[in-house]
Structure 1
Amino acid sequence: MDVAELLSQIATDGDYNPFSLRDLGPAEISAVREALSSLSLREAALAVIATLREPFDFALVPQEKPLPLNACEFWYALPTGDQEAVLDAFGLSSPVPVTMRMGRLAWRYEGHRWWLDHGRCSVIYVSPVLDGWTLVFGEPAEDFHTRGTLADGVEDPHGVKQMWANEAAKRTVRRERCVALSRRFGAAHLYLKSHGDSTTSWFIAENGTVARWYDVMVPEEQIGPPHPGEAGFWLPHEENPWPAGSFDDILLAHVGKEAALRFRDRYRQLQAEYNVPDKCDADDVAAQLSVRPGDIGPTTVVTGHGVLARTGCPG
Protein backbone atom coordinates (compact mmCIF):
# COMPACT_ATOMS: atom_id res chain seq x y z
CA MET A 1 0.00 0.00 0.00
CA ASP A 2 1.16 3.53 -0.80
CA VAL A 3 0.86 5.19 2.63
CA ALA A 4 1.62 8.67 1.29
CA GLU A 5 -1.18 8.38 -1.26
CA LEU A 6 -3.64 7.16 1.39
CA LEU A 7 -2.81 10.02 3.76
CA SER A 8 -2.98 12.60 0.96
CA GLN A 9 -6.43 11.38 0.02
CA ILE A 10 -7.66 11.60 3.61
CA ALA A 11 -6.11 15.05 4.06
CA THR A 12 -7.61 16.34 0.82
CA ASP A 13 -11.20 15.13 0.93
CA GLY A 14 -11.57 13.41 4.29
CA ASP A 15 -12.54 10.15 2.65
CA TYR A 16 -11.00 6.76 2.02
CA ASN A 17 -11.80 3.13 1.34
CA PRO A 18 -12.27 1.54 4.79
CA PHE A 19 -11.01 -1.78 3.51
CA SER A 20 -7.65 -0.20 2.67
CA LEU A 21 -6.72 -0.33 6.36
CA ARG A 22 -7.39 -4.03 6.88
CA ASP A 23 -3.90 -5.22 6.01
CA LEU A 24 -1.72 -2.43 7.38
CA GLY A 25 1.28 -4.05 9.01
CA PRO A 26 4.03 -2.72 11.28
CA ALA A 27 5.97 -1.21 8.37
CA GLU A 28 2.95 0.76 7.10
CA ILE A 29 1.98 1.91 10.58
CA SER A 30 5.57 3.08 11.13
CA ALA A 31 5.32 5.11 7.90
CA VAL A 32 2.05 6.62 9.12
CA ARG A 33 3.73 7.64 12.37
CA GLU A 34 6.56 9.29 10.46
CA ALA A 35 3.95 11.46 8.73
CA LEU A 36 3.03 13.00 12.10
CA SER A 37 5.96 15.36 11.56
CA SER A 38 4.19 16.82 8.50
CA LEU A 39 1.71 19.57 9.36
CA SER A 40 -0.26 18.93 6.17
CA LEU A 41 -0.60 15.18 6.82
CA ARG A 42 -0.69 15.11 10.63
CA GLU A 43 -4.46 14.95 11.06
CA ALA A 44 -4.75 12.28 8.37
CA ALA A 45 -2.03 10.24 10.05
CA LEU A 46 -3.74 10.64 13.42
CA ALA A 47 -7.00 9.51 11.82
CA VAL A 48 -5.42 6.26 10.68
CA ILE A 49 -3.68 5.70 14.03
CA ALA A 50 -6.87 6.36 16.01
CA THR A 51 -8.91 4.16 13.68
CA LEU A 52 -6.53 1.24 14.20
CA ARG A 53 -6.58 1.94 17.96
CA GLU A 54 -2.86 2.56 18.10
CA PRO A 55 -1.62 4.83 20.93
CA PHE A 56 -0.76 8.45 20.17
CA ASP A 57 0.01 11.74 21.92
CA PHE A 58 -3.32 13.51 22.47
CA ALA A 59 -1.49 16.85 22.40
CA LEU A 60 -1.04 16.37 18.64
CA VAL A 61 -4.78 16.52 17.97
CA PRO A 62 -5.33 19.79 16.05
CA GLN A 63 -8.02 22.38 16.58
CA GLU A 64 -11.42 21.24 15.37
CA LYS A 65 -12.64 22.27 11.91
CA PRO A 66 -16.33 21.59 11.23
CA LEU A 67 -16.64 18.79 8.67
CA PRO A 68 -19.79 17.38 7.04
CA LEU A 69 -20.41 13.86 8.30
CA ASN A 70 -21.87 12.38 5.14
CA ALA A 71 -23.41 8.93 4.69
CA CYS A 72 -24.34 8.64 8.37
CA GLU A 73 -26.97 5.95 8.86
CA PHE A 74 -27.60 5.84 12.62
CA TRP A 75 -27.09 8.47 15.27
CA TYR A 76 -28.48 9.93 18.50
CA ALA A 77 -28.81 13.68 19.06
CA LEU A 78 -28.82 15.12 22.59
CA PRO A 79 -29.24 18.82 23.49
CA THR A 80 -26.29 18.93 25.89
CA GLY A 81 -22.66 19.91 26.12
CA ASP A 82 -21.93 17.61 29.07
CA GLN A 83 -19.73 15.02 27.36
CA GLU A 84 -18.97 13.18 30.59
CA ALA A 85 -22.71 12.70 31.20
CA VAL A 86 -23.20 11.43 27.64
CA LEU A 87 -20.43 8.87 28.04
CA ASP A 88 -21.94 7.74 31.33
CA ALA A 89 -25.45 7.50 29.86
CA PHE A 90 -24.23 5.18 27.10
CA GLY A 91 -21.94 3.17 29.35
CA LEU A 92 -18.82 4.21 27.44
CA SER A 93 -15.22 4.17 28.65
CA SER A 94 -11.64 5.03 27.66
CA PRO A 95 -12.47 8.18 25.63
CA VAL A 96 -9.82 9.28 23.14
CA PRO A 97 -10.00 12.90 21.87
CA VAL A 98 -10.34 13.17 18.11
CA THR A 99 -11.28 15.70 15.47
CA MET A 100 -14.37 15.19 13.34
CA ARG A 101 -12.19 13.97 10.48
CA MET A 102 -10.59 11.40 12.76
CA GLY A 103 -13.91 10.36 14.27
CA ARG A 104 -15.64 10.05 10.91
CA LEU A 105 -12.95 7.81 9.47
CA ALA A 106 -12.82 5.65 12.57
CA TRP A 107 -16.59 5.26 12.65
CA ARG A 108 -16.72 4.35 8.96
CA TYR A 109 -14.03 1.74 9.49
CA GLU A 110 -15.90 0.35 12.48
CA GLY A 111 -19.04 0.01 10.39
CA HIS A 112 -17.21 -2.01 7.74
CA ARG A 113 -15.59 -4.57 10.05
CA TRP A 114 -18.45 -6.98 9.44
CA TRP A 115 -16.14 -10.01 9.33
CA LEU A 116 -15.55 -9.80 13.11
CA ASP A 117 -18.01 -10.81 15.85
CA HIS A 118 -17.80 -7.33 17.38
CA GLY A 119 -16.58 -5.42 14.35
CA ARG A 120 -19.47 -2.97 14.37
CA CYS A 121 -20.17 -2.44 18.04
CA SER A 122 -16.98 -1.95 20.06
CA VAL A 123 -16.32 1.77 19.40
CA ILE A 124 -18.65 4.77 19.35
CA TYR A 125 -17.89 8.27 18.09
CA VAL A 126 -19.26 11.09 20.26
CA SER A 127 -19.13 14.45 18.50
CA PRO A 128 -18.12 17.81 19.94
CA VAL A 129 -21.01 20.13 20.78
CA LEU A 130 -22.54 21.23 17.47
CA ASP A 131 -24.93 24.18 17.67
CA GLY A 132 -25.80 23.01 21.17
CA TRP A 133 -26.23 19.33 20.27
CA THR A 134 -24.02 16.30 20.88
CA LEU A 135 -24.30 13.53 18.29
CA VAL A 136 -23.58 9.91 19.17
CA PHE A 137 -22.76 7.56 16.30
CA GLY A 138 -23.41 4.03 17.49
CA GLU A 139 -25.25 2.35 20.33
CA PRO A 140 -24.44 0.53 23.56
CA ALA A 141 -23.36 -3.09 23.26
CA GLU A 142 -26.51 -4.46 24.89
CA ASP A 143 -28.73 -2.52 22.45
CA PHE A 144 -26.74 -3.56 19.39
CA HIS A 145 -26.90 -7.25 20.34
CA THR A 146 -30.60 -7.27 21.19
CA ARG A 147 -32.36 -10.31 19.74
CA GLY A 148 -36.04 -11.11 19.50
CA THR A 149 -37.60 -14.41 20.51
CA LEU A 150 -39.84 -16.70 18.49
CA ALA A 151 -42.62 -18.74 20.03
CA ASP A 152 -41.88 -22.41 20.61
CA GLY A 153 -42.53 -24.52 17.58
CA VAL A 154 -42.36 -21.69 15.04
CA GLU A 155 -40.65 -22.88 11.87
CA ASP A 156 -38.20 -20.42 10.33
CA PRO A 157 -35.94 -22.31 7.89
CA HIS A 158 -34.60 -19.18 6.21
CA GLY A 159 -34.29 -16.99 9.31
CA VAL A 160 -36.73 -14.36 8.04
CA LYS A 161 -39.03 -14.51 11.07
CA GLN A 162 -36.04 -14.24 13.38
CA MET A 163 -34.82 -11.19 11.47
CA TRP A 164 -38.20 -9.46 11.90
CA ALA A 165 -38.29 -10.45 15.57
CA ASN A 166 -34.83 -8.93 16.03
CA GLU A 167 -35.92 -5.69 14.39
CA ALA A 168 -39.03 -5.46 16.56
CA ALA A 169 -36.98 -6.07 19.71
CA LYS A 170 -34.47 -3.39 18.69
CA ARG A 171 -37.24 -0.88 18.08
CA THR A 172 -38.45 -1.44 21.63
CA VAL A 173 -34.95 -1.16 23.13
CA ARG A 174 -34.18 1.99 21.16
CA ARG A 175 -37.46 3.59 22.18
CA GLU A 176 -36.71 2.84 25.83
CA ARG A 177 -33.19 4.21 25.40
CA CYS A 178 -34.51 7.49 23.99
CA VAL A 179 -37.03 7.84 26.79
CA ALA A 180 -34.36 7.27 29.44
CA LEU A 181 -31.98 9.71 27.75
CA SER A 182 -34.71 12.37 27.54
CA ARG A 183 -35.25 12.13 31.29
CA ARG A 184 -31.59 12.96 31.77
CA PHE A 185 -31.06 15.55 29.03
CA GLY A 186 -34.57 16.95 28.48
CA ALA A 187 -34.82 15.49 24.98
CA ALA A 188 -33.30 12.70 22.92
CA HIS A 189 -33.56 11.99 19.22
CA LEU A 190 -32.58 8.86 17.31
CA TYR A 191 -32.29 8.95 13.53
CA LEU A 192 -31.87 6.05 11.13
CA LYS A 193 -31.46 6.34 7.38
CA SER A 194 -30.15 3.58 5.15
CA HIS A 195 -28.15 4.66 2.11
CA GLY A 196 -28.70 1.27 0.49
CA ASP A 197 -32.51 1.33 0.41
CA SER A 198 -35.48 3.39 1.59
CA THR A 199 -35.29 2.34 5.27
CA THR A 200 -35.65 5.32 7.60
CA SER A 201 -37.02 6.09 11.06
CA TRP A 202 -36.87 8.62 13.87
CA PHE A 203 -37.57 8.61 17.61
CA ILE A 204 -38.28 11.91 19.36
CA ALA A 205 -38.47 11.69 23.18
CA GLU A 206 -39.05 14.66 25.45
CA ASN A 207 -38.90 14.70 29.27
CA GLY A 208 -39.38 10.98 29.63
CA THR A 209 -42.11 10.40 27.06
CA VAL A 210 -42.18 9.50 23.36
CA ALA A 211 -43.37 12.58 21.48
CA ARG A 212 -43.03 10.91 18.09
CA TRP A 213 -41.84 7.66 16.58
CA TYR A 214 -42.03 6.76 12.91
CA ASP A 215 -40.56 3.84 10.98
CA VAL A 216 -41.25 3.41 7.27
CA MET A 217 -41.13 -0.39 7.70
CA VAL A 218 -44.02 -0.42 10.20
CA PRO A 219 -45.93 2.86 9.67
CA GLU A 220 -49.02 1.34 11.30
CA GLU A 221 -47.14 1.29 14.62
CA GLN A 222 -46.15 4.97 14.62
CA ILE A 223 -46.55 6.83 17.89
CA GLY A 224 -47.69 10.41 18.38
CA PRO A 225 -49.23 12.96 16.02
CA PRO A 226 -47.30 14.42 13.07
CA HIS A 227 -44.33 16.30 14.49
CA PRO A 228 -43.23 19.85 13.53
CA GLY A 229 -40.04 18.27 12.20
CA GLU A 230 -42.13 16.65 9.46
CA ALA A 231 -43.92 19.88 8.49
CA GLY A 232 -44.02 20.50 4.75
CA PHE A 233 -43.30 16.85 3.88
CA TRP A 234 -45.18 13.66 3.15
CA LEU A 235 -44.25 10.59 5.14
CA PRO A 236 -42.25 8.00 3.18
CA HIS A 237 -44.97 5.34 3.18
CA GLU A 238 -47.72 7.62 1.85
CA GLU A 239 -48.92 6.73 -1.62
CA ASN A 240 -48.46 9.21 -4.46
CA PRO A 241 -51.74 10.22 -6.14
CA TRP A 242 -50.65 9.95 -9.77
CA PRO A 243 -51.67 6.98 -11.93
CA ALA A 244 -49.82 3.68 -11.76
CA GLY A 245 -47.39 3.24 -14.63
CA SER A 246 -46.52 6.95 -14.86
CA PHE A 247 -42.84 6.04 -15.29
CA ASP A 248 -43.17 2.88 -17.40
CA ASP A 249 -42.08 4.52 -20.65
CA ILE A 250 -38.87 5.80 -19.00
CA LEU A 251 -38.02 2.50 -17.36
CA LEU A 252 -38.61 0.55 -20.57
CA ALA A 253 -36.80 2.89 -22.97
CA HIS A 254 -33.85 4.18 -20.95
CA VAL A 255 -31.11 2.90 -18.66
CA GLY A 256 -28.42 4.24 -16.35
CA LYS A 257 -27.93 7.96 -15.82
CA GLU A 258 -30.33 8.97 -18.57
CA ALA A 259 -33.13 6.96 -16.98
CA ALA A 260 -32.37 8.48 -13.56
CA LEU A 261 -32.47 12.03 -14.90
CA ARG A 262 -35.68 11.46 -16.84
CA PHE A 263 -37.25 9.79 -13.81
CA ARG A 264 -36.33 12.77 -11.63
CA ASP A 265 -37.75 15.27 -14.12
CA ARG A 266 -40.99 13.29 -14.50
CA TYR A 267 -41.32 13.00 -10.72
CA ARG A 268 -40.94 16.77 -10.29
CA GLN A 269 -43.46 17.35 -13.07
CA LEU A 270 -46.04 15.10 -11.37
CA GLN A 271 -45.37 16.69 -7.98
CA ALA A 272 -46.20 20.09 -9.42
CA GLU A 273 -49.25 18.80 -11.28
CA TYR A 274 -50.73 17.06 -8.22
CA ASN A 275 -49.41 19.57 -5.65
CA VAL A 276 -47.49 16.90 -3.75
CA PRO A 277 -44.60 17.82 -1.39
CA ASP A 278 -41.35 15.91 -1.06
CA LYS A 279 -41.23 12.86 1.19
CA CYS A 280 -39.08 13.23 4.28
CA ASP A 281 -36.49 10.94 5.79
CA ALA A 282 -34.40 11.04 8.96
CA ASP A 283 -32.00 13.58 7.43
CA ASP A 284 -34.85 16.01 6.73
CA VAL A 285 -36.30 15.68 10.22
CA ALA A 286 -32.87 16.11 11.82
CA ALA A 287 -32.25 19.25 9.74
CA GLN A 288 -35.37 20.84 11.22
CA LEU A 289 -35.09 19.61 14.81
CA SER A 290 -31.41 19.26 15.71
CA VAL A 291 -28.31 18.87 13.50
CA ARG A 292 -28.17 17.12 10.15
CA PRO A 293 -24.67 15.58 9.99
CA GLY A 294 -24.25 16.35 6.30
CA ASP A 295 -24.93 20.07 6.89
CA ILE A 296 -22.10 20.58 9.39
CA GLY A 297 -19.72 23.22 8.07
CA PRO A 298 -18.10 26.64 8.61
CA THR A 299 -21.27 28.18 10.07
CA THR A 300 -21.70 25.43 12.68
CA VAL A 301 -20.80 26.54 16.21
CA VAL A 302 -18.43 23.90 17.57
CA THR A 303 -17.37 23.56 21.21
CA GLY A 304 -14.71 21.16 22.46
CA HIS A 305 -13.47 17.95 20.90
CA GLY A 306 -15.29 14.76 20.13
CA VAL A 307 -14.06 11.40 21.36
CA LEU A 308 -13.84 7.78 20.35
CA ALA A 309 -14.99 5.64 23.27
CA ARG A 310 -15.26 1.94 23.98
CA THR A 311 -18.48 0.03 24.53
CA GLY A 312 -18.64 -3.18 26.51
CA CYS A 313 -17.78 -5.25 23.45
CA PRO A 314 -14.25 -6.52 22.77
CA GLY A 315 -12.59 -5.48 19.55
Structure 2
Amino acid sequence: MTFAEAEEIIDDDGHGESEGNPDGMARVYVSPELDGWTLVIGPWCDPCDTERSDDVLRLCRDRSARYGQAQAYYYGTQGDGSAWLVAQDGVVLRRYCETGEAEDAYLTLGEPMPLERAHREQLGLPAVWDEASRSEEAEDEWKWAAFHLAPEIAAALGVSPFKLMADTRVEGAGVIARTPHATRG
Protein backbone atom coordinates (compact mmCIF):
# COMPACT_ATOMS: atom_id res chain seq x y z
CA MET A 1 0.00 0.00 0.00
CA THR A 2 1.33 3.44 -0.87
CA PHE A 3 1.60 6.34 1.56
CA ALA A 4 -1.10 8.20 -0.38
CA GLU A 5 -3.55 5.29 -0.04
CA ALA A 6 -2.67 4.83 3.63
CA GLU A 7 -2.99 8.56 4.33
CA GLU A 8 -6.56 8.56 3.06
CA ILE A 9 -7.51 5.50 5.13
CA ILE A 10 -5.83 6.73 8.34
CA ASP A 11 -7.25 10.24 7.87
CA ASP A 12 -10.76 8.81 7.44
CA ASP A 13 -10.25 6.60 10.51
CA GLY A 14 -8.99 9.55 12.57
CA HIS A 15 -12.05 11.60 11.72
CA GLY A 16 -14.54 8.82 12.48
CA GLU A 17 -15.45 8.33 8.84
CA SER A 18 -14.55 4.64 8.76
CA GLU A 19 -17.31 2.13 9.35
CA GLY A 20 -16.46 -0.16 12.26
CA ASN A 21 -13.62 2.13 13.40
CA PRO A 22 -15.30 5.29 14.74
CA ASP A 23 -12.44 6.23 17.10
CA GLY A 24 -9.70 5.51 14.55
CA MET A 25 -7.90 3.09 16.85
CA ALA A 26 -8.53 -0.19 15.00
CA ARG A 27 -5.99 0.24 12.18
CA VAL A 28 -2.51 1.60 11.55
CA TYR A 29 -0.31 1.93 8.52
CA VAL A 30 2.98 0.04 8.81
CA SER A 31 5.43 1.50 6.30
CA PRO A 32 8.12 -0.29 4.39
CA GLU A 33 11.57 0.21 5.91
CA LEU A 34 12.60 3.82 5.22
CA ASP A 35 16.30 4.55 5.71
CA GLY A 36 16.34 1.85 8.38
CA TRP A 37 13.13 2.97 10.14
CA THR A 38 9.67 1.42 10.07
CA LEU A 39 6.86 3.90 10.68
CA VAL A 40 3.58 2.92 12.30
CA ILE A 41 1.05 5.63 11.59
CA GLY A 42 -2.41 6.19 13.05
CA PRO A 43 -4.25 7.54 16.09
CA TRP A 44 -3.48 4.32 18.01
CA CYS A 45 0.18 5.50 18.23
CA ASP A 46 -0.58 8.92 19.75
CA PRO A 47 1.75 9.47 22.74
CA CYS A 48 -0.55 12.12 24.26
CA ASP A 49 -3.93 10.41 23.92
CA THR A 50 -5.24 10.17 27.49
CA GLU A 51 -6.42 6.57 27.02
CA ARG A 52 -3.33 5.32 25.15
CA SER A 53 -0.41 7.36 26.56
CA ASP A 54 0.73 4.72 29.07
CA ASP A 55 0.50 1.92 26.48
CA VAL A 56 2.40 3.95 23.87
CA LEU A 57 5.06 4.80 26.45
CA ARG A 58 5.47 1.11 27.33
CA LEU A 59 5.58 0.08 23.67
CA CYS A 60 8.27 2.62 22.84
CA ARG A 61 10.33 1.68 25.87
CA ASP A 62 10.05 -2.05 25.02
CA ARG A 63 10.76 -1.56 21.29
CA SER A 64 13.78 0.61 22.07
CA ALA A 65 15.13 -2.07 24.41
CA ARG A 66 14.93 -4.52 21.52
CA TYR A 67 15.91 -2.30 18.57
CA GLY A 68 17.91 0.51 20.18
CA GLN A 69 15.45 3.34 19.45
CA ALA A 70 11.72 3.86 19.23
CA GLN A 71 9.70 7.03 18.90
CA ALA A 72 6.05 8.05 18.79
CA TYR A 73 4.64 11.30 17.46
CA TYR A 74 1.39 13.15 17.16
CA TYR A 75 0.97 15.95 14.69
CA GLY A 76 -2.38 17.60 14.05
CA THR A 77 -2.08 18.92 10.52
CA GLN A 78 -5.00 21.27 11.16
CA GLY A 79 -3.25 23.13 13.98
CA ASP A 80 -4.18 20.54 16.62
CA GLY A 81 -0.71 20.44 18.18
CA SER A 82 2.29 18.15 18.43
CA ALA A 83 3.67 15.50 20.74
CA TRP A 84 6.81 13.41 20.80
CA LEU A 85 8.03 10.42 22.74
CA VAL A 86 11.64 9.34 22.34
CA ALA A 87 13.06 6.16 23.89
CA GLN A 88 16.52 4.69 23.59
CA ASP A 89 17.86 1.39 24.89
CA GLY A 90 14.76 0.81 27.01
CA VAL A 91 14.76 4.27 28.61
CA VAL A 92 12.31 7.07 27.84
CA LEU A 93 14.41 10.16 27.16
CA ARG A 94 11.57 12.57 26.50
CA ARG A 95 7.81 12.83 26.20
CA TYR A 96 6.32 16.22 25.51
CA CYS A 97 2.81 17.16 24.40
CA GLU A 98 1.60 20.54 23.24
CA THR A 99 -2.00 20.14 22.11
CA GLY A 100 -3.72 22.83 24.13
CA GLU A 101 -5.14 20.30 26.59
CA ALA A 102 -4.77 20.82 30.34
CA GLU A 103 -3.31 17.31 30.72
CA ASP A 104 -0.34 18.08 28.44
CA ALA A 105 1.90 19.20 31.31
CA TYR A 106 1.24 16.00 33.27
CA LEU A 107 2.54 13.88 30.38
CA THR A 108 5.93 15.62 30.19
CA LEU A 109 8.88 13.37 30.97
CA GLY A 110 12.63 13.86 30.66
CA GLU A 111 14.74 16.82 29.67
CA PRO A 112 14.11 18.95 26.56
CA MET A 113 15.63 17.59 23.35
CA PRO A 114 18.40 19.64 21.68
CA LEU A 115 15.94 20.79 18.99
CA GLU A 116 13.50 21.99 21.66
CA ARG A 117 16.30 23.93 23.35
CA ALA A 118 17.38 25.49 20.05
CA HIS A 119 13.83 26.61 19.25
CA ARG A 120 13.43 28.13 22.70
CA GLU A 121 16.68 30.07 22.26
CA GLN A 122 15.49 31.29 18.82
CA LEU A 123 12.42 32.67 20.59
CA GLY A 124 14.64 34.44 23.13
CA LEU A 125 13.64 32.03 25.90
CA PRO A 126 15.96 30.12 28.23
CA ALA A 127 16.94 26.80 26.61
CA VAL A 128 15.73 25.01 29.73
CA TRP A 129 12.50 25.99 31.43
CA ASP A 130 13.32 28.23 34.36
CA GLU A 131 10.49 28.96 36.78
CA ALA A 132 12.37 31.99 38.17
CA SER A 133 12.34 33.76 34.80
CA ARG A 134 9.06 32.34 33.54
CA SER A 135 6.59 34.70 31.93
CA GLU A 136 3.13 33.76 30.73
CA GLU A 137 3.62 35.62 27.44
CA ALA A 138 6.94 33.89 26.69
CA GLU A 139 5.55 30.46 27.50
CA ASP A 140 2.54 31.10 25.26
CA GLU A 141 4.96 31.92 22.44
CA TRP A 142 6.76 28.62 23.09
CA LYS A 143 3.49 26.66 23.13
CA TRP A 144 2.51 28.03 19.72
CA ALA A 145 5.95 27.17 18.31
CA ALA A 146 5.79 23.66 19.80
CA PHE A 147 2.39 23.07 18.17
CA HIS A 148 4.24 22.46 14.88
CA LEU A 149 7.49 20.85 16.08
CA ALA A 150 6.82 17.08 15.92
CA PRO A 151 7.65 16.59 12.20
CA GLU A 152 10.89 18.52 12.61
CA ILE A 153 11.94 16.48 15.65
CA ALA A 154 11.06 13.24 13.83
CA ALA A 155 13.22 14.26 10.85
CA ALA A 156 16.13 15.24 13.12
CA LEU A 157 16.05 11.96 15.06
CA GLY A 158 15.09 9.50 12.34
CA VAL A 159 12.51 9.75 9.57
CA SER A 160 9.50 12.02 9.19
CA PRO A 161 6.77 11.02 6.74
CA PHE A 162 6.63 14.71 5.78
CA LYS A 163 10.29 14.72 4.70
CA LEU A 164 10.50 11.62 2.49
CA MET A 165 12.48 12.21 -0.68
CA ALA A 166 13.13 10.30 -3.90
CA ASP A 167 16.51 9.20 -2.49
CA THR A 168 14.98 7.72 0.71
CA ARG A 169 16.08 4.07 0.84
CA VAL A 170 12.92 1.89 0.78
CA GLU A 171 12.82 -1.84 1.47
CA GLY A 172 9.64 -3.90 1.54
CA ALA A 173 6.02 -2.84 1.25
CA GLY A 174 3.62 -0.90 3.43
CA VAL A 175 0.44 -2.48 4.83
CA ILE A 176 -2.64 -1.56 6.80
CA ALA A 177 -2.66 -3.60 10.02
CA ARG A 178 -5.26 -4.20 12.70
CA THR A 179 -4.36 -3.11 16.23
CA PRO A 180 -5.29 -4.96 19.44
CA HIS A 181 -7.94 -2.23 19.81
CA ALA A 182 -9.76 -3.72 16.78
CA THR A 183 -10.71 -6.80 18.79
CA ARG A 184 -12.42 -4.80 21.55
CA GLY A 185 -15.99 -4.54 21.24
Q: TM-score, normalised by structure 1?
A: 0.44
Residue 90 of structure 2 corresponds to residue 208 of structure 1: yes
TM-score, normalization: structure 2?
A: 0.70
Determine which of 118, 131, 142 is the counterpart of 1:232.
Answer: 118
Does the Cα contact within 8 Å between 1:229 and 1:286 map onto a contact in 2? Answer: no
Judging changes above 3 Å, is the alpha-carbon distance between structure 1 residues 100 and 200 closer, same or farther for their aligned structure 2 residues? closer
Pairs within 5 Å for 1:27-46: none
Q: 1:135 aligns with which of 39, 46, 54?
A: 39
Q: CA RMSD in A?
A: 3.6
Match of 2:60 in 1: 178
Aligned to 1:107: 10
Cα offset for 1:180? 1.6
The letter of the residue matching 1:187 is Q
Classify the secondary structure of the residue corresponding to 2:77. coil
Deviations 1:2-31 (A, max 9, x none): xxxxxxxxxxxxxxxxxxxxxxxxxxxxxx
1:311 match: 179
Asked if structure 1 preserves the Cα contact closer than 8 Å seen for 2:13 and 2:21, the reply is no
Q: Provide, for residues 117-167 of structure 1, a one-character-per-residue CA deviation record: whole Å limited to 9, x for no partner.
A: 523223221111111111001266xx88xxxxxxxxxxxxxxxxxxxxx95
Conservation of the 8 A alpha-carbon contact between 1:125 and 1:308 = yes
**Contact 1:189 1:203 survives alignment (8 Å):** yes
Q: Aligned residue for 2:126?
A: none
Relative to structure 1, the CA distance from residue 302 to residue 171 in structure 2 (aligned partners, 3 Å threshold; closer, same or farther) is: same
Please tell me whether the aligned partners of residues 12 and 18 of structure 2 are also in contact (alpha carbons under 8 angstroms). Answer: no
1:298 paired residue among 155, 166, 171: 166
Asked if the contact 1:229–1:289 (Cα under 8 Å) also holds between the matched residues in 2, the reply is no
Unaligned runs of 5+ in 2: 124-128, 130-134
Name the CA distance, whole Å, in 2 between partners of 1:169 and 1:113: 17
2:145 is equivalent to residue 279 of structure 1: yes
Q: Kindly tell me the number of residue pairs found equivalent between the two proteins.
A: 163
Change (3 A) 1:136 1:221: closer
After superposition, give the CA deviation of every residue in 1:212-262 in whole Å (9 maximum; x if it has no partner).
Answer: 111224336522122234342129998555xx9xxxxxxxxxxxxxxxxxx
> Shift in Å at residue 179 of structure 1?
1.0
- Residues in 2 aligned to 1:167 and 1:306: alpha-carbon distance in whole angstroms: 25
Q: Which runs of 4+ in 1 moved over 6 A?
A: 235-238
Q: Relative to 1, partners in 2 of residues 1:309 and 1:170: Cα closer, same or farther, differing over 3 Å?
A: closer
* Alignment CA distance shift 1:132-1:283 (3 Å): same
Identity of aligned residues (%): 29
Distance 1:127 1:194, change over 3 A: same
Higher Cα Rg, which structure: 1
Equivalent-residue separation in structure 2 for 1:298 and 1:227 (angstroms): 28
Unaligned runs of 5+ in 1: 1-97, 145-165, 245-266, 268-275
Q: Is the 8 A contact 2:73 2:84 kept in 1?
A: yes
- Within 5 A, what are the aligned runs for 1:112-261? 112-114=15-17, 116=19, 118-119=21-22, 120-138=24-42, 167-216=49-98, 217=101, 218-219=104-105, 221-234=107-120, 240-241=137-138
In structure 2, the CA distance between the partners of 1:185 and 1:239, relative to structure 1 (3 Å rule), is farther
Shift in alpha-carbon separation, 1:295–1:167, aligned structure 2, 3 A: closer
* Mapped partners of 1:123, 1:214: distance in 2: 24
2:14–2:43 contact (8 Å) kept in structure 1:
no
